Amino acid sequence: MRRLVEALLILAVVGRAGAGWAASPSQTPAREFPVTKPDSVLIRAMPEVQGDVLDARCWTDKSGEHCFVAWGRNNKSGSENRKRSELHAAVFSMRTSGFKQDWRINDFSDQPLTWVALDTATIKVADVDGDGSAETGFFYSIAQDGLDPYVLKYILHAGAKKYAIRGMLPMDADDLERYAKQADPALQDLSSPLAKFADAEWEAYVKPILKPLQDEAAEDDK
């Protein structure tokens, strides 16, 4: 069943790839920053990075040099069916004394057959609000082995400030009523470039997953 979940996530990413970072006519398109992959020595020079490195990328904007790093652990704890799955992500900025951590997110699950998964294909580094500094955005999920709805989170950082949209995404047409989406208060005013962008990212991600389920449910109702 885990393969089915992963396949549906791939379909979502493919759907997003065509849209890219498109903007509405009233919004200036977000400018993506060129990124480079840091070597392992540079990554390990960043404070508190431990475990398996899932993604790392660096860029330069008007405020200097920065690196995004995500890492995680999947450790057995007790029985064969119970593991602690962890996800950590942070942005580090270069200072005269070395790298300084600007922000960090941590999430985990210690439930049986449950994992916390970063969708690396959704990581974006771009100037969303036109101020010359990069915002970073990405999706991750907390999912169980099976067809139960899973927790989906979209995280957007502007500087050190975190914005999030959280929800539940069904994997089965019978669970469509369990779909949920809850944006932070700061993202509920869609006149804001950050809010408009985050909302568009969410909708572009979930629609390729929800549409087949909605079609299946409509067919069953005939």
pLDDT digits (tens, 9 = 90+) for 48-92: 898 899 999 999 999 999 999 999 987 655 555 557 899 999 999
68 bridge partner residues:
57, 91
Give, as one character, the DSSP assignment of residue 176. G
* Residue located via tokens 């903007």: 23
CA separation for the pair 14, 8 (Å, rounded): 10
Contact 120, 139 (CB under 8 A): no
The whole-model pTM stands at 0.84
Measured CA to CA, the distance from residue 24 to residue 18 in angstroms comes to: 15
Full strand arrangement of the beta sheet holding 64-76? 52-61, 64-76, 83-95, 98-109
pLDDT for residue 76: 53
pLDDT band at 2 (very low <50, low <70, confident <90, very high): very low
